Structure 1
C-alpha cells in the first residue's frame, strides 16, 4: 500500500508551466527537489511529467511527496496522547506538564515527538513529527503537529503572516497593576547560560499582550491570574516577559518564581486558532486549565 502523501490540483490557466502552477499552489523548491530525487512523483492526467510540462485548463495535477525519514535522534516510542483533533494533515494535542515536546540531552525519551512517531508508525504513515507550535517541557496545553513536511511548510507561512493565534493563561507572583497591556521587548539568549533567555537590546523582536483575569491571595501571598496572547513565538517568551515586568510565573524557578505551591511554571495554552493549511477552514480549539493551576484559583481568597 502506497502511504505517501498526495495532493491533487486542477489547472486553471492555459499554457502555464507546471513549475509555475506548483509555485502558485505553494509547493516549495525544497519539496520539488525531494520529489525529483527522493521518490516522489508529478503526474498530469495520470501521466508522469516534469516541471517544464505545459498545462491546459482543467488538467488534473497530482503531487506525490516522497516518504519521510525520521532523524537519527528521534526514536519511535509508544505512549499516551490526548488528541483534540486529527485529519490527514494535522494533529492537535493537549500536552501534559512535565513532558518535552522534542527530545533533548536532559530528556532524550518520552517526548511528544517520540510518541507521535510511534503513533504514526501504528497508522502506517510514512512521515515524522513536524512541530508547528512548541511548548516548554513544563508548560501544558494545546500544540499542533503537521503530519507532512509540506503541511509544515504551509503552517510556517501561516505563522509568519500571523494566521495562527495562541492564547495562554498563567498565574504570576504579585498583583499585576495594569488590567491590559502589551509587552514589546526583544528577547535573546543570556550570555552566561545555554538555556536562559532575557530581554536585551540585541535580541529578537517579541510581543506579548497581557490581560488580568483575577487578582487574589493564596496563603496570604498576592498572585494574579492572567491571559496572554503571543504575537511572536520566542523561546520562553511569556516567562521572560512576565519576569521582566516583575511578575514571574508561579513555579518558574528559572525566571524568579518559586515552587512552593506548584511543581512547574503555572502556564497553560488554552486556545489555538488557525486556518486549515489545505482547506482554509477556520479551526478553533480550546483546553481547560490543569488541576494544579485550578487548585490555586479554587483555594484562593480575594
Structure 2
C-alpha cells in the first residue's frame, strides 16, 4: 500500500531543488526522487512540479511513496572459498571471501554468508528478520575475514547484546594510502548517509557516534599497513574514517582511493580484512579468539608494495 506523506516545507530547505530536498527528507537517491516527481507523485501546494523547481519555506509538500519491496530470501547454495574457522551447536565462525554479502538485501543478487551456510547444511538461529536470521554483525561484500553467525536462539540474543554493548573485539588490517600522522591514534567522528543519497556514508554533524582506533604495523613508500580496532560498528566505518583523514584504503575507489596505485598493485576492491574476532562464548562465557588469514589478492598486493619499498 502506498504511503502518502504531507508536511510543510522546512525553512532549512527554502530554495532547495525538489529532487535534492526529497533525497534529504526521505533518504532517497536523487534518481529515485526524480522518478517520483516525473510520475506526478510529488505535489507542492497542490500542483505537480519538475525536479529542478525550487521549494519555498512554509509551502505544502505532498509525496506519495511506493510500498517498500519485499525483502529477498536467502538462497541456500554453497559459497566457494568460504571456510569454517569454528563451529559448535551455538555458533559458527566463517572466513568470508570477497564478493559475498552477509545476508540478502534489495539490489544484491550475489552469494551470501547466510545462503552459503544453509546450502552447506548448517543450521542458523531463526531469530531476526527472515532475510538475516542468525546474523549478528556484518562485513561489506568486498571486505573479507572473520564473521560469526548464531546457530541457537540464545546465542543470537546474547551475541546481539554483546555487539551492542561493545564487548566484542573486532580487529582489521587495512592497507591505506600515505602515512597517518600520528602513527597511532583514534578517529572519533559521527557517521551517517552521504548527503548526495548515492549509497555512500560520510562524516556528518549529527551522525551516529563512531570511534576507530588505528596503529601502524608497517610503512611503505606509498602506503601503510594498519591494525584497526573498532569501538563502534557503523556501515563502512573504517572506509569512511580513513577517507576522512585523507588515507583511504588502497583500492577503495568509492571513497577516493587512487586508481593508479590500485591498478599497479592489482587491487580490485578495498584492501581491508577482518583478521581477528574475539568474543565470549554465548553459553559457556569462555573468551574465544578466531583469526582469518589474508586471502590471495591481499597477500599478493602486500608482497608487491613491499618489493617496491
Q: TM-score, normalised by structure 1?
A: 0.70
Aligned to 1:91: 92
The question of whether the paired residues in 1 share the 8 Å contact of 2:240 and 2:255 is answered with yes
Encode CA deviations 1:150-179: one digit per residue, 9 max, x unaligned.
321111111122211110001111122211
Out of 149-158 and 270-279, give the one that drifted further. 149-158
> Aligned pair in 2 of structure 1 residues 151, 125: CA closer, same or farther (>3 Å)?
closer
Aligned to 2:249: 249
> Aligned pair in 2 of structure 1 residues 190, 72: CA closer, same or farther (>3 Å)?
closer
Offset of residue 191 of structure 1 = 2.1
Offset of residue 125 of structure 1 = 6.9
> Aligned pair in 2 of structure 1 residues 72, 287: CA closer, same or farther (>3 Å)?
closer
Question: Which segments of structure 1 move beyond 6 Å, counting only runs of 4 or more?
Answer: none
Aligned to 1:230: 230
Aligned to 1:65: none
Out of 290-299 and 131-140, give the one that drifted further. 290-299
Partner residue of 1:204 out of 208, 230, 255: 208
Offset of residue 137 of structure 1 = 0.6
Aligned to 1:191: 195
SS of 1:234's partner is coil
Q: TM-score, normalised by structure 2?
A: 0.69
User: For the residues of structure 2 that align with 1:175 and 1:125, how far apart are their CA atoms?
Assistant: 42
Offset of residue 109 of structure 1 = 3.9
User: For the residues of structure 1 that align with 2:189 and 2:88, how far apart are their CA atoms?
Assistant: 37
Q: What are the ranges of 5 or more consecutive residues in structure 1 without an aligned counterpart?
A: 1-70
Aligned to 1:271: 276
The answer to which structure has the higher helix fraction is: 2
Encode CA deviations 1:247-294: one digit per residue, 9 max, x unaligned.
011110110013423010000001000000011011011122222222
Encode CA deviations 1:74-113: one digit per residue, 9 max, x unaligned.
2322334300000000010001111111123332242111
Q: What are the ranges of 5 or more consecutive residues in structure 2 without an aligned counterpart?
A: 1-70
